[in-house]
Amino acid sequence: MTLKRRLATLLLFLAAGLAPALMACSQPASLPMAGERVAPSDAGQIHLSFAPIVRKAAPAVVNVYSRRVVRTQVDPFWGMFMGGAVPRQRVEQSLGSGSIVRADGVILTNHHVIDGAQEIMVVTADRREWPAQVKLDDPRADLAVLQIDARGESLPTIAIDDRADVQVGDLVLAIGDPFGVGQTVTNGIVSALARSSGDGGGNDFSYYIQTDAAINPGNSGGPLVDMNGDLIGVNTAIVSASGGSTGVGFAIPARLVRQVVSAAVGGGHTVVRPWIGAKLQGLTGDMARSLGLSAPQGVLVAELWPGGPAERAGIARGDVIVSVDGQPVNDPSAVNYRIATQGPGASVSLLVRKAGGVDRTVTARLTTPPDQPARDERTIAGQNPLNGATVINLSPAAAVDLGLDPFAGAGVVVTAVNGGYAGNLGLQPGDFIRQINNQPIATTAQLVQVMAQPARGWIISIQRGGQTITARVGF
């Protein structure tokens, strides 16, 4: 065999030996099955891109601009030189983000982005501007649904994925318009589930997806997106001392989002949510030990509404609710969220730990909170310290609407203060008027009658945040 033929044969053997290795290097590692979660196994996987996900989701993400005109009072000192304290107007603007969830122009954002707005504009990803109207505003969930006139055009949309399989460690993207710089994408992971924002803000349910994807002012209302390009949450709050992202952001879960969008698309102007008729309390270590529990797991039933869903299900004061529909609950917010995302008339399964450590599963059929007594809204007029205050009779339904404790007791509660003497007195929405001149006040009709009686002075007892404030006012 000549040298030339020997070299050719050797090259063929080398090529045959290197082929499997070359093929192994050129082909990607096996992809995980649907629903399976695996860590990156090689450098090729680490260099993968989120670009396909962004291309799918980003066209449906919009900027939301709202503005309102606020009247401010000129300082009385300067008013003396200007013919009186003439109110001036100033324009307040709010910037946020949103998601197109239906092709005919239904858009989801945060309530706090459009709160009090007199004009709302939406800018789509292609830089077109659209005037928007509020279709449904839900302050309790801090969500709002807007409508733009798509003029028959089919707009890009993002799907809402409200399955309960989000896990800590899942990769996510946050898309929005932080600081008004233009559409921006950040990535991170799900840092925790069922978290409270910790600042007393946000929504009534305080049940969030926590993420370290950078969220900044202007991201509010934008989507938190999974690796399928679907919306799993609405970015709504951050914890920050500086006002910028510190890697602790919160998103409203898609299950609550779906409920609000469905109500709006169905023609509703409010979201009707059920309640369980129980006042709940988180467990401390000492409380758990006193109840014979090995750990503070579950939620204590502190009070029951007579004839409410919890009482009818056989739950008693002092019981501990361990889980709702098989999902563990360790604070009242978790129970409230699980209940709130059901529909009125739905049945939920509750695992309850009774006295003596006996576990029992009960079924509660949920109802809407009762609206009795009737609210009988009235605005106080006349020469008296409560002039300008609007009041109602408190019922569980009214308490839920106002964000008050339904177990605060019957009575008259202030819902608005529109100037008048009540504003000078310092009366605030949410105040309970308990007594006038040492006479207990039970209804709005009684309050109007008492305030219509002439008096040289008034002793007014107000309950605010668990404290009783007594004011003496001369007239």
**How far apart, in Å, do the first and last CA atoms of the chain sit?**
125
Query: Which residues share a beta bridge with 417?
Result: 389
State the catalytic residue, choosing from 142, 226, 331, 431.
142
CA atoms within 13 A on the CB side of 332: 15
State the catalytic residue, choosing from 220, 323, 395, 461.
220
Give DSSP secondary structure letters for 93-126.
EEEEEEEEEETTTEEEE-HHHHTT-SEEEEE-TT
d(CA 31, CA 441) in angstroms, rounded, equals 69
Query: Which residues share a beta bridge with 370?
Result: none
State phi, psi for 423 to the nearest 5 degrees. -65, -40
State the catalytic residue, choosing from 99, 112, 230, 245.
112
CB neighbours of 77 closer than 8 A, spacing ≥ 6? none
The reply to whether 112 belongs to the active site is yes
Q: Check: CB of residue 318 under 8 Å from CB of residue 288.
A: no
Cα–Cα distance list, 27 to 15, 18, 37, 329 (Å): 18, 14, 20, 45
The reply to whether 142 belongs to the active site is yes
User: How far is residue 228 CA from its own chain's centroid?
Assistant: 23
Cα–Cα distance list, 39 to 46, 48, 211, 467 (Å): 10, 13, 19, 54
Strands, E assignment, 284-342 = 299-304, 320-324, 327-328
State phi, psi for 74 to the nearest 5 degrees. -70, 145
The residues that are catalytic are 112, 142, 220
